[in-house]
Amino acid sequence: MAIDSLDVKKKEVLPEDNALIEFQETLKEAVEILHYPEQVYEFLRKPMRFLEVSIPVRMDNGQTQIFQGFRAQHNDATGPTKGGIRFHPDVTADEVKALAGWMSLKCGVTDLPYGGAKGGIICDPRKMSQDELERLSRGYVRAVSQLVGPTKDIPAPDMYTNSQIMAWMLDEYDHIREFDSPGFITGKPITLGGSKGRETATSKGVLYTLQRVCELRKLELKDTRVIIQGFGNVGSYLAKYLYELGAKVIGIGDVLGALYDENGLDIPYLLENRDSFGIVSNRFDDAISNQELLEKECDILIPAAISGVINQHNADRIKCQIVIEAANGPTTKDALTILDERGILVVPDILANSGGVIVSYFEWCQNNQGFYWTETEVDTRLKEKMNTSFENVYHTAKKYGVNMKIAAYIEGIQKLAEASRLRGWLKY
Ligand SMILES: NC(=O)C1=CN([C@@H]2O[C@H](COP(=O)(O)OP(=O)(O)OC[C@H]3O[C@@H](n4cnc5c(N)ncnc54)[C@H](O)[C@@H]3O)[C@@H](O)[C@H]2O)C=CC1
Ligand SMILES: O=C(O)CCC(=O)C(=O)O
């Protein structure tokens, strides 16, 4: 069914469209702090491979529409590449390249045996029927099938993709390869070899990070005022967990607007009334804009939607103690400088949202073993990895006297650079 009624409004907070430059500039800073030669930066600043594809899809009206898709593989020195596939009308080639680079760093920070990758298709899934989405998903796999595979490059969900889309992609891949290979893709339905706990993994990882930060800042989670932008996979589960733990979720945002109540929102009601694309604000007359939401006073602000929303235009009006980046790249470099100067702690994406890829890794391990874990096993291991990664980044920040973003890059780069040197790709 086409969902025309949910027409995307023009974005109220214009993201800075320079994710790749953001990635490269921060990378350069971290490489210099580590006293690595320039070639390390030159090698890591772009993906090792990038494929752009055209995907013809027969639409329900009988006409064929050509969709543009991408897959970027940033670096495979440490293992096969790994990263989600985004279906979004605004996704660009450069953004996918940046997202792939961030995936490499994320896998470095969390010590996973992967390099980074990312995929994207320019489309608006809210305006497509399930049949059209299925044909698009299968078409994408056919277009990139030479490049991906369980020991080459393993996709997963990202914005506007979900376990059903992973299931179609897996089925198409199995069809092409003529054997069952559940390890080709993660974030699958549990019946098809998905892992328990993958659906909630990113939000749980953000929660564990947030709890650790609260301990350090001596903040009681109970009654802490939290604002979350994004009410999809990551934002909605996070809101649920925080609400259950007694935090006051005073604001949430989605693509069409935002809801705010200084006394705390009724999260169970919003969860029940949101649609499958994480939209709920359109059900209320008193919705505010995303811009207003981001500038409301709170203790912890959690951008969990798109990149570049905290930028040089609004960073001096952000009124919180802590920003936890659940989205990829929500804070620009300029904004980070302003927030640093204002004493606002920013916990970086490549640490905070790594729970998703961590449990994707667990899923892949389970597929390779053919032996499946309980939810408690998954969760215990996730928490352990999140906590270890947090402590490493935190201590690196102290050691080098840098913010947590640079510290996370420093943590993320080292294994990549070392593996590239050991393979003889870089001489230093
Ligand atoms: N799903 C996962 O496992 C992981 C997701 N992430 C990142 O977290 C973020 C959110 O991902 P998901 O929750 O999976 O996506 P989703 O598709 O489930 O939900 C996206 C949410 O963002 C909102 N949104 C979309 N465009 C917006 C805009 N222009 N302004 C304000 N809100 C907007 C949507 O309305 C929806 O509520 C993305 O940056 C993604 O890359 C990071 C790590 C893993
Ligand atoms: O689960 C994965 O493999 C990747 C998730 C992802 O795309 C991300 O962390 O940004």
Using alpha carbons, list the distances in angstroms from residue 69 to 90, 96, 134, 427: 12, 10, 15, 34
Do both 146 and 57 map to the same domain? Answer: yes
Let me know if residue 265 belongs to a domain: yes
Write down the pTM of the prediction: 0.95
Residue span of the structural domain in which 171 resides: 45-185
Do both 345 and 215 map to the same domain? Answer: yes
| Cα gap 259→8, rounded to integer Å | 17
Q: Report the separation in Å between the CA atom of 266 and the middle of ligand 1, taken as the mean of its atom positions.
A: 21
Do both 93 and 137 map to the same domain? Answer: yes
Let me know if residue 376 belongs to a domain: no
Q: Which atom of ligand 2 is nearest to the CA of 356?
A: 1
CB 22 within 8 A of CB 332: yes
CB 320 within 8 A of CB 331: no
- Per DSSP, the residues of 215-250 read HHTT--STT-EEEEE--SHHHHHHHHHHHHTT-EEE
What integer is the mean pLDDT of 360-382?
98
Do both 278 and 227 map to the same domain? Answer: yes
Tell me, yes or no, if 118 is annotated catalytic.
Answer: yes
Q: Which residues, 6 or more positions from 418, have their beta carbon under 8 angstroms from its beta carbon?
A: none
Range from 4-13, 167-176, 208-217, 308-317 carrying the lowest mean pLDDT: 4-13
Q: How confident is residue 17, by pLDDT bands cut at 50, 70 and 90?
A: low
CATH number of the domain encompassing residue 261: 3.40.50.720
Q: Report the separation in Å between the CA atom of 35 and the middle of ligand 1, taken as the mean of its atom positions.
A: 35
Let me know if residue 312 belongs to a domain: yes
| Cα gap 299→289, rounded to integer Å | 20
Do both 181 and 207 map to the same domain? Answer: no
Domain count within the chain: 2
The percentage of the chain sitting over the pLDDT mark of 70, rounded to a whole number, equals 96
Digit-coded pLDDT (tens) for 183-203: 999 999 999 999 999 999 999
What integer is the mean pLDDT of 317-325?
98
The CB-side HSE value for 109 (13 A sphere, CA atoms) comes to 34
* Sign of the alpha-carbon dihedral angle for 105, 107, 113, 115: negative
Do both 254 and 348 map to the same domain? Answer: yes
Q: Which atom of ligand 1 is nearest to the CA of 187?
A: 3
Let me know if residue 231 belongs to a domain: yes
Residue 18 has a pLDDT of 86
From 46, 97, 106, 118, active-site residue? 118
Residue 13 has a pLDDT of 38
ipTM value of the model?
0.99
Do both 272 and 179 map to the same domain? Answer: no
- Residue owning the nearest CA to atom 33 of ligand 1: 255
Residue 125 DSSP one-character state: G
CATH number of the domain encompassing residue 126: 3.40.50.10860
Other residues' Cβ atoms within 10 Å of the Cβ of residue 424? 7
Ligand nearest to the CA of 199: 1
Let me know if residue 285 belongs to a domain: yes
